[in-house]
């Protein structure tokens, strides 16, 4: 706590004493991002580390699934998938487990209240209806609440454009076929978009041997994205968004000697948001209701079924008041209600549970001097069981010139215990004792555009520490507990884009991630020798990606991707008495080719390994 106060005092002294005059920044380049504050903000004034992917970049990647695009395009991110398409797919920001990253689709918080860690898997997110993605790195619970310790991923789906119809048909190896159809329009006061996608594949086997009992991991998915808006007047707008996904996966059994013919999971996901925005003079007010429902039916190797049901409802208010071109305050009220129903391992009875979080936040954005932009944020979350906690943030962005800026941010984060933590244990005796996980995050970065060689360069240094991790199990009781171990992640992120030639560009991403997982390696309940590396699981210390793109007269497009991942620590399984293992480093080469057919068609070839 004292360290937090010292850092805040430092920032305040820097702002108030050193910079004291005020000017307008109306001439800034209007690159707009939403993730840092939940409202429109000029990228040049943002002091946090944020990366955006637009629709053109997403579609030119030539991938079916959004996670594969993010895997090739972002710094500070680690991606893992347990097998072929549809298998468990997670994204980790800045070396932290996936449960410390919050995901939103069109403003709806995406996670499964019935899962063990309340995290979100990217297995069923297709690219066909995605318009934009913004990734905010670092602890940002002051804006996004519980779970935003490592960062936030904001996904925006397509909205209606004037009389558009698109049909895409794809085929590939391993019996893979994909069909997506979309229509949209924007006329008078209405706009709408509807996108339908169907994906099938025979898949591959995730097992690394050739036993007769191994079979391919087949996967199929049907999904729907729908958006609608109605403009009552220039100051009053209604919006609605819907996402639905139905998927089925047959997957391999991990334990040797078992047939995997029966292992499967069938997921139904639905989410929607209804919002009304009214504007008056210098203020905007948005009232919204959103809902998420996820139902999973699973079968194991012995054909035993288990079902999980998770639901979330949220009533929110978001306000914005613009004092002038340079200063505004963003504030809001959020009321989140979770409920879940899941089966225990033993005895196999259903448990039903619920919880609520009531939140208030404000975020002040202002400009102390001509080249300095700053943000001060504060949030209070009140959990029905764990109680009330405060989080905050402070950011600075200093423009050295029209092409360069230095930015820095400090933020605190928290993550409340899940319903699984509270209710799953065989003997739940410590429910009131569980505390939320808490974090501190600091980063500093430099961004510049080198005009002479037409190159963008971004470098960031960061450190995240968190405590009270909910990763320990009390001996002989099988109930969760907060650990006292040290857990941290620190590293370097470098990204560069070279586009000296009109039809040729090179992009480079490099991550150095140094993590320490004290929750595993310092836990006295962990067997001797089972923790063979200090790092977080599935997080390489070194990873990099280089993309070469060459276009010819807007007809031919070629892309070559070279990807390197260093060795990583991972958990073992029943085949090795659950002792840790080290997975080898690997190097991948991927290629894609596109050819424009007449005015409305595209032929493309993608080779991935």
Nearest CA to 539 out of 145, 62, 100 is that of 100
| pLDDT value of position 182 | 94
- Residue 115 pLDDT more than 90? no
Q: How confident is the model at residue 83 (pLDDT cuts 50, 70, 90)?
A: confident
Higher per-residue pLDDT: 602 or 283: 283
Examine the pLDDT at 30 and tell me if it is beyond 60: no
What mean pLDDT is predicted for residues 370-385? 95
Q: What length is written for the chain?
A: 609
Q: What is residue 579's predicted lDDT score, i.e. its pLDDT?
A: 76
How many Å apart are CA 445 and CA 29, to the nearest integer? 20
Per-residue CA distances from 126 to 129, 218, 294, 341 (Å): 7, 17, 17, 28
DSSP SS3 for 517: strand
Angstrom distance (rounded) from CA 602 to CA 184: 20
Question: Comparing 273-282, 337-346, 372-381, 419-428, which segment has the lowest mean pLDDT?
Answer: 419-428
**Whether the bond into 347 is cis, omega within 30 of 0:** yes
Look at residues 215, 229, 144, 145 and name the one whose alpha carbon lies nearest to residue 184. Answer: 229
What pLDDT is stored for residue 524 in this prediction?
A: 54
Cβ atoms of residues 541 and 533 within 8 Å? no
Q: What is the pLDDT of residue 576?
A: 61
Closest by CA to 123, choosing from 30, 199, 216, 210, is 199
pLDDT of res. 478? 61
pLDDT over threshold 80, residue 378? yes
Q: Mapping DSSP to helix (H, G, I), strand (E, B) and coil, where does residue 304 land? A: coil
* 3-state SS assignment for residue 57: helix
Query: If pLDDT is split at 50, 70 and 90, which confidence band does 257 have?
Result: low
What is the average per-residue pLDDT within 28-36?
64
Write the pLDDT tens digit of every residue in 61-71. Answer: 888 899 888 88
Secondary structure (3-state) at 59: helix
Mean pLDDT of 529-544: 80
| Selection from 309, 272, 336, 348 nearest residue 112 by Cα | 309
- The CATH number of residue 260's host domain is 2.40.170.20
Whole-number Å distance between alpha carbons of 449 and 405:
10
First to last CA, the chain: 47
Binned at pLDDT 50, 70 and 90, residue 24 comes out as very low
The arithmetic mean of pLDDT across residues 515-520, rounded, is: 84
d(CA 581, CA 562): 26
Cβ partners under 8 Å of residue 94, min gap 6: 76, 137, 138, 150, 151, 462, 464, 489, 491, 513
Count Cβ atoms below 10 Å from residue 568 Cβ, excluding itself. Answer: 22
Query: Tens digit of pLDDT for each residue in 84-95?
Result: 888 888 888 999
The pTM score is 0.89
Report how far apart, in Å, the C-alpha atoms of 179 and of each of 31, 64, 87, 222 are. Answer: 33, 10, 20, 10
Residue 403 DSSP SS3: coil
Q: pLDDT confidence of 20, banded at 50, 70, 90?
A: very low
The band of 501, judged by pLDDT with boundaries at 50, 70 and 90, is confident
Question: Where residue 16 falls among pLDDT bands split at 50, 70, 90?
Answer: very low
Element (H, E) at 10: helix 2-13
Residue with tokens 């009109």: 502
User: Is residue 15 very low, low, confident or very high in pLDDT (cuts 50, 70, 90)?
Assistant: very low
Give the integer Cα–Cα distance in Å for 444 and 490.
12
Most confident of 31-35, 73-77, 527-531, 572-576: 73-77
Lowest mean pLDDT among 80-94, 200-214, 440-454: 200-214
Count how many Cα atoms sit within 13 Å of the Cα of residue 485 in the half-sphere of its side chain.
20
Which pLDDT score, from 0 to 100, does residue 526 have? Answer: 47
pLDDT tier, 431 (very low <50, low <70, confident <90, very high otherwise): confident
Q: Is the pLDDT of residue 286 over 90?
A: yes
Question: How would you label 144-176 residue by residue, b for 16+ Cβ within 10 Å and e otherwise?
Answer: bbbbbbbbbbbbbbbbbeeeeeeeeeeeeeeeb
* Amino acid 18: pLDDT: 35
Residue 100: pLDDT over 50: yes
The neighbour count for residue 124, using CB atoms within 10 Å, is 24
Domain coverage including residue 113: 2-607
397: Cβ contacts below 8 Å, ≥ 6 apart:
44, 45, 46, 47, 372, 373, 374, 405, 406, 407
Residue 452 CB contacts under 8 Å (≥ 6 apart), including other chains = none
Statement: residue 13 has pLDDT above 50: no
CA gap 474, 431 in Å, rounded:
13
> pLDDT tens-digit profile of 33-52?
777 778 888 888 889 999 99
Scan for tokens 């898949």, then name that residue. Answer: 203
Q: pLDDT, tens digit, for every residue of 177-210? A: 999 999 999 988 999 999 999 999 987 776 655 5
Residue 444 confidence (pLDDT):
96
Instruction: Name the average pLDDT for the chain.
Output: 84
Confidence of residue 477 (pLDDT cuts 50, 70, 90): low
What confidence category does residue 368 fall into, taking pLDDT thresholds of 50, 70 and 90? Answer: very high
User: Across residues 526-554, what is the average pLDDT?
Assistant: 77
Q: Is the pLDDT of residue 529 over 50?
A: no
Per-residue pLDDT, averaged over 392-409, amounts to 94
**What mean pLDDT comes out for the span 334-342?**
93
pLDDT band at 156 (very low <50, low <70, confident <90, very high): very high
What's the whole-number mean pLDDT along residues 322-327?
A: 90
Q: Is residue 78 a contact partner of residue 85, using CB atoms and an 8 Å limit?
A: no
* Radius of gyration of the chain, Cα coordinates, nearest whole angstrom: 24
pLDDT at 596: 79
Per the model's pLDDT, the better-predicted residue between 3 and 316 turns out to be 316
Range 576-600 average pLDDT: 81
Condensed to tens digits (0 to 9), the pLDDT of residues 303-316 reads 777 888 999 999 99
Greater pLDDT, 60 or 167: 167
pLDDT of residue 297: 87
What's the token pair of residue 492? 């370097």
User: Which of the four pLDDT bands, split at 50, 70 and 90, describes residue 259?
Assistant: low
**Mean pLDDT, to the nearest integer, of 13-28?**
38
């Amino acid at each position: 706590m004292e360290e937090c106060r010292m850092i805040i005092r430092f920032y305040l002294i820097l702002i108030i004493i050193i910079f004291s005059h005020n000017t307008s920044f109306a001439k800034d380049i209007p690159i707009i991002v939403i993730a840092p504050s939940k409202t429109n903000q000029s990228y040049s004034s943002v002091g946090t580390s944020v990366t955006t992917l637009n629709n053109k970049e997403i579609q030119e990647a030539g991938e079916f699934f959004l996670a594969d695009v993010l895997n090739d395009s972002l710094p500070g991110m680690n991606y893992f998938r347990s097998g072929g398409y549809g298998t468990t797919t997670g994204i980790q920001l800045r070396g932290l487990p996936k449960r410390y990253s919050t995901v939103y689709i069109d403003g709806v918080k995406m996670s499964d209240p019935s899962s063990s860690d309340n995290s979100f898997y990217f297995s069923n997110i297709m690219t066909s209806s995605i318009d934009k993605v913004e990734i905010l790195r670092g602890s940002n619970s002051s804006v996004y609440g519980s779970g935003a310790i490592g960062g936030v991923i904001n996904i925006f789906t397509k909205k209606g454009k004037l009389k558009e119809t698109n049909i895409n048909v794809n085929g590939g190896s391993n019996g893979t076929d994909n069909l997506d159809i979309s229509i949209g329009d924007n006329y008078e006061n209405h706009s709408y978009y509807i996108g339908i996608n169907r994906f099938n594949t025979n898949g591959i086997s995730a097992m690394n041997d050739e036993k007769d009992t191994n079979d391919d991991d087949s996967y199929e998915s049907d999904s729907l994205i729908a958006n609608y808006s109605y403009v009552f007047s220039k100051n009053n707008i209604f919006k609605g968004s819907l996402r639905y996904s139905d998927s089925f996966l047959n997957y391999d059994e991990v334990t040797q000697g078992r047939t995997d013919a029966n292992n499967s999971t069938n997921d139904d996901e639905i989410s929607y948001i209804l919002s009304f925005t009214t504007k008056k003079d210098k203020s905007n007010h948005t009232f919204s209701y959103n809902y998420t429902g996820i139902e999973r039916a699973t079968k194991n190797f012995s054909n035993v079924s288990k079902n999980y049901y998770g639901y979330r409802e949220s009533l929110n208010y978001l306000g914005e008041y613009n004092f002038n071109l340079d200063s505004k305050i963003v504030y809001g009220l959020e009321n989140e209600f979770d409920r879940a129903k899941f089966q225990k391992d033993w005895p196999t009875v259903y448990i039903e549970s619920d919880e609520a979080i009531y939140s208030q936040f404000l975020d002040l954005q202002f400009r102390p001097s001509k080249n300095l932009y700053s943000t001060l944020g504060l949030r209070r979350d009140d959990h029905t069981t764990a109680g009330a906690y405060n989080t905050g943030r402070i950011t600075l962005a200093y423009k050295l010139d029209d092409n360069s800026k230095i930015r820095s941010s400090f933020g605190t984060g928290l993550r409340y215990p899940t319903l699984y933590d509270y209710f799953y244990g065989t003997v739940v005796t410590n429910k009131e004792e569980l505390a939320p996980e808490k974090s501190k995050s600091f980063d500093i970065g430099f961004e510049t555009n080198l005009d002479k060689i037409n190159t963008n360069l971004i470098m960031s240094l960061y450190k995240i520490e968190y405590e009270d991790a909910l990763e320990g199990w009390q001996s002989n009781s099988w109930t969760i507990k907060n650990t006292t171990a040290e857990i941290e992640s620190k590293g370097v992120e470098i990204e560069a884009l070279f586009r000296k030639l009109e039809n040729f560009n090179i992009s480079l991403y490099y991550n150095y991630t140094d993590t320490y997982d004290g929750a595993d390696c310092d836990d006295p309940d962990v067997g001797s020798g089972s923790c063979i590396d200090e790092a977080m699981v599935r997080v390489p210390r070194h990873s990099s990606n280089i993309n070469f793109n060459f276009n010819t007269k807007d007809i031919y497009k070629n892309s070559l991707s070279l990807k390197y991942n260093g060795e990583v620590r991972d958990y073992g399984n029943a085949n090795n008495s659950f002792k840790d293992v080290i997975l080898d480093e690997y190097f991948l080469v991927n290629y894609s080719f596109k050819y424009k057919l007449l005015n409305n068609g595209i032929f493309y070839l993608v080779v991935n390994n």
